[in-house]
Structures are given as structure tokens and as C-alpha cells.
């Protein structure tokens, strides 16, 4: 009997629990109860997990969307993980390592089937690690990943969309597919994780570039050209790091679709528009618009620049480099269009 725990009660974690809760009652060999581990916090002075269980709604992170009655939340991590065989990890990337240490202490040596719904990568001066690699190192399992053009509020409202499920273990991919796939949330599987996760991180940098273009007030042609270069650099960088990435990664929801959705109005795009219009720094705008929360686009642009500089390849990625320079070195935003160059027939 499989038992599912969703580790994280934010916007996307709560939506994931909603999807699974709706699907799991139709599946044999599954415990129909779905637990959500909710880090202790309050809403109107009451424990958020208690509010979720009483109202069947997460008013803090997914207001107005009812959860199935078979979904319950707890801030007791051991209780949430008790008996779990399948674990959905949905925490901010900066909390992943500490979460994994805590998970390890509470699973009593059990080998869990794990899927990551985390977007982001860990870029150091001389190496890059994805969330599934961090999970694999900490828990000695081979995780799957779910990533795509997935705006949680729209999915929770049953608006049709796709997502990419990456896995190397077919039996586990089949189980995750059965938990997530529905008439409104269409899942497509690929035998990959690294390329999928890199797409999810790099598209944030390109969406900043798209926001810079929109902040300058240019038309669709100019913005489309920026997106073309950004998509090209995403593919080029991923193949530089992982030559065996399946080509379909770039044309599934985790690739092109996620890039388009993020560049039409995601938070990275919006903050870049304001960067151009106000002349303020990313840090100032994050403080004003997001209460100090760090966005992945600006952060990834900076980390990527440091990595590429160490590798001596900044010139191969002019758009990535220019986004960093505009955001952190006060380069004129209009120089984003210098990445558009002519090409003669050879």
C-alpha cells in the first residue's frame, strides 16, 4: 500500500496536494489520505495546519480553493512522514538541504520514492547541482522531477495545462503519473532530470531579459528576438553541462512553454520591467515588491555569471552576461539588444 506525503504547504505544494487528493481516491493500492507537512506558522493567530484541516483551504497561500477532505496538514514532521512511501518535496530551494536533514532523521532508514517540484539550481563557482542531485546525495535515492509552465493558482482552478515528469525509473514514473495526470493537468514523461531542472532555472534569467525589453517599451518583434536568443543560450548551456540531454526536453512544458509563460508576466519579468522604469536595483525592488523575498531570476543571473567567468565562457552567453551586467553593474538596459547580431550564410 502506497502512502503519499507532500512536504511543503506553500502555493505550489498545496496545489500539488489538491491534485493528488483528487486523483488518489480512484487508485487501487494507495492509502487515500494525503498528508501535508506544514512548517509551523500562523494565520490570524491560529496554526496554519489547524486552519487547513478545519476549513479544507489554505487561506495564506492558496485562498479560495477548496482541498479534498482526504487531504490533511500537520506541523509535526514525524506524523506527516509516518508510513509514507512516496514523498513530494516542494520547499524553496534555500531550505532544501536543511529539510533533507530533517527528513532523514524522521524516516527511520526507509527508502522513499521521491519527486521534486522545486524550481532552481545550486550554482557554485566551479560546479552546478540540481535539486534532484542534492536529494540523491542526501537520501541515497534516484528522485523524479515535475516541472513546467505551471502557475499554481490556474491549475488549482482546473485550467488546462501541461507539465513534464522526468524520471529514470519507469515503475516510479508510472506511479507519479497516476497521481498527477488529470483531465486538466496533462503529464508528459521524459527519461531525464538534469536538463529539465536546468531549463526551470535558466528560463528565469531569460524572463528577466524579456522584462527588460518590455520595460523599454519595445514591440513584439524585438521581444521575440530576445526570447529566441535566450532559448538558444539555454540549450547551449545545458548541452555544455549535460551533452546527453534528450532534445525533447526543450520542446516540452519544462522548456519552451515554461519560458513563454514566465516571460509574459511572471514575477521575474515584472521586477525587470520595474528595474528599467525606476532605475532601482533588484535588491530595492525585491524589498518593495516582495517583502525582501529573493527572486530566482536575478539570483541565478549573478551565480551563472560567476560560474561562466570561472569557466571562461561568458562571451558564449551574451544574453546571460548582459542580464547580469544590467542588473548588477548598472549597464544601460538598451544594451540588451546588442545580443542580436546578423548571420551570413556560410
Average pLDDT over residues 148-156: 94
Q: What is the pLDDT of residue 52?
A: 98
Q: What is the pLDDT of residue 99?
A: 97
Average pLDDT over residues 278-285: 92
Is 10 annotated among the ligand-binding residues?
yes
CATH of domain 2-191: 3.40.50.720
pLDDT for residue 72 is more than 80: yes
Q: What is the pLDDT of residue 200?
A: 94
Q: What is the pLDDT of residue 293?
A: 66
pLDDT for residue 294 is more than 80: no
Average pLDDT over residues 37-49: 94
Average pLDDT over residues 50-61: 97
- pLDDT, tens digit (0-9, with 9 covering 90-100), for 192-246: 999 999 999 999 999 999 999 999 999 999 999 999 999 999 999 999 999 999 9
pLDDT for residue 265 is more than 90: no
Average pLDDT over residues 158-173: 98
Is 236 annotated among the ligand-binding residues?
no
Beta partners for residue 161, in sequence order: 185
Could you tell me which of 179, 307, 190, 320 has the C-alpha nearest to residue 253? 190
Whether 18 is a known active-site residue: answer no
Determine if residue 158 is left, alpha or beta; phi over 0 gives left, psi from -120 to 50 gives alpha, anything else beta: left
Q: What is the pLDDT of residue 186?
A: 98
pLDDT for residue 142 is more than 70: yes
Q: At 311, is the secondary structure helix, strand, or coil?
A: helix
pLDDT band (50, 70, 90) for residue 346: confident
List Cβ neighbours of 124 (8 Å cut-off, separation of 6 or more).
303, 307
Is 120 annotated among the ligand-binding residues?
no
115 within 8 A of 105, measured Cβ to Cβ: no
pLDDT for residue 80 is more than 70: yes
Q: What is the pLDDT of residue 266?
A: 83
Name the segment(s) of the chain with CATH classification 3.40.50.720.
2-191
The highest-level CATH class for domain 199-339 is: mainly alpha
Rounded to two decimals, the pTM is 0.93
89 within 8 A of 96, measured Cβ to Cβ: yes
Is 268 annotated among the ligand-binding residues?
yes
Average pLDDT over residues 64-75: 98
Average pLDDT over residues 47-57: 97
Q: What is the mean pLDDT of the chain?
A: 95
pLDDT for residue 261 is more than 70: yes
Q: What is the pLDDT of residue 94?
A: 86
Torsion sign (Cα): 290, 296, 299, 301: negative
72 within 8 A of 61, measured Cβ to Cβ: no
Query: In the chain, pLDDT over 90 holds for what percent of residues?
Result: 89
Name the segment(s) of the chain with CATH classification 1.10.1040.10.
199-339
Could you tell me which of 90, 92, 65, 93 has the C-alpha nearest to residue 80? 90
- pLDDT, tens digit (0-9, with 9 covering 90-100), for 304-340: 999 999 999 999 999 999 999 999 999 999 999 999 9
- pLDDT, tens digit (0-9, with 9 covering 90-100), for 90-135: 998 889 999 999 999 999 899 999 999 998 889 887 889 999 999 9
pLDDT for residue 183 is more than 80: yes
Query: In the chain, pLDDT over 70 holds for what percent of residues?
Result: 99
Q: What is the pLDDT of residue 342?
A: 87
Q: Which position among 18, 113, 203, 223 bears the catalytic label?
A: 203
Is 30 annotated among the ligand-binding residues?
no
Question: What is the C-alpha separation between 87 and 160, in angstroms, rounded?
Answer: 25
Is 152 annotated among the ligand-binding residues?
yes
pLDDT band (50, 70, 90) for residue 292: low
Amino acid at each position: 500500500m502506497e502512502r503519499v506525503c507532500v512536504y511543503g504547504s506553500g502555493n505550489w505544494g498545496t496545489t500539488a496536494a489538491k491534485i493528488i487528493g483528487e486523483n488518489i481516491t480512484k487508485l487501487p493500492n494507495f492509502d487515500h489520505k494525503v498528508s501535508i507537512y506544514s512548517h509551523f506558522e500562523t494565520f490570524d493567530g491560529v496554526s496554519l495546519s489547524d486552519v487547513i484541516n478545519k476549513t479544507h483551504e489554505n487561506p495564506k497561500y492558496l485562498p479560495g480553493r477548496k482541498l479534498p477532505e482526504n487531504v490533511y496538514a500537520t506541523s509535526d514532521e514525524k506524523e506527516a512522514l509516518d508510513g509514507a512511501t512516496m514523498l513530494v518535496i516542494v520547499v524553496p530551494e534555500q531550505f532544501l538541504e536543511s529539510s533533507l536533514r530533517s527528513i532523514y532523521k524522521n524516516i527511520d532508514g526507509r527508502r522513499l520514492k521521491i519527486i521534486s517540484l522545486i524550481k532552481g539550481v545550486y550554482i557554485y563557482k566551479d560546479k552546478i547541482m540540481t535539486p534532484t542531485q542534492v536529494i540523491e546525495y542526501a537520501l541515497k535515492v534516484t528522485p523524479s522531477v515535475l516541472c513546467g509552465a505551471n502557475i499554481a493558482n490556474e491549475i488549482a482552478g482546473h485550467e488546462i495545462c501541461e507539465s513534464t515528469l522526468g524520471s529514470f525509473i519507469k515503475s516510479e514514473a508510472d506511479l507519479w503519473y497516476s497521481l498527477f495526470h488529470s483531465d486538466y493537468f496533462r503529464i508528459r514523461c521524459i527519461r531525464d532530470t538534469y536538463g529539465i531542472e536546468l531549463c526551470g532555472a535558466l528560463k528565469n534569467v531569460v524572463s528577466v531579459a524579456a522584462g527588460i525589453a518590455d520595460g523599454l517599451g519595445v514591440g513584439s518583434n524585438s521581444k521575440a528576438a530576445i526570447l529566441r536568443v535566450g532559448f538558444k543560450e539555454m540549450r547551449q548551456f545545458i548541452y555544455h553541462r549535460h551533452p546527453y540531454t534528450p532534445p525533447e526536453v526543450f520542446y516540452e512544458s519544462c522548456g519552451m512553454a515554461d519560458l513563454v509563460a514566465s516571460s509574459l508576466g511572471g514575477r521575474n519579468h515584472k521586477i525587470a520591467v520595474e528595474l528599467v522604469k525606476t532605475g532601482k536595483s533588484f535588491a530595492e525592488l525585491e524589498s518593495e515588491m516582495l517583502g525582501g523575498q529573493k527572486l530566482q531570476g536575478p539570483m541565478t543571473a549573478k551565480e551563472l555569471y560567476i560560474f561562466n567567468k570561472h569557466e571562461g565562457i561568458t562571451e558564449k552567453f551574451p544574453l546571460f552576461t548582459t542580464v547580469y551586467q544590467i542588473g548588477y553593474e548598472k549597464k544601460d538596459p538598451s544594451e540588451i539588444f546588442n545580443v542580436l547580431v546578423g548571420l551570413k550564410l556560410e
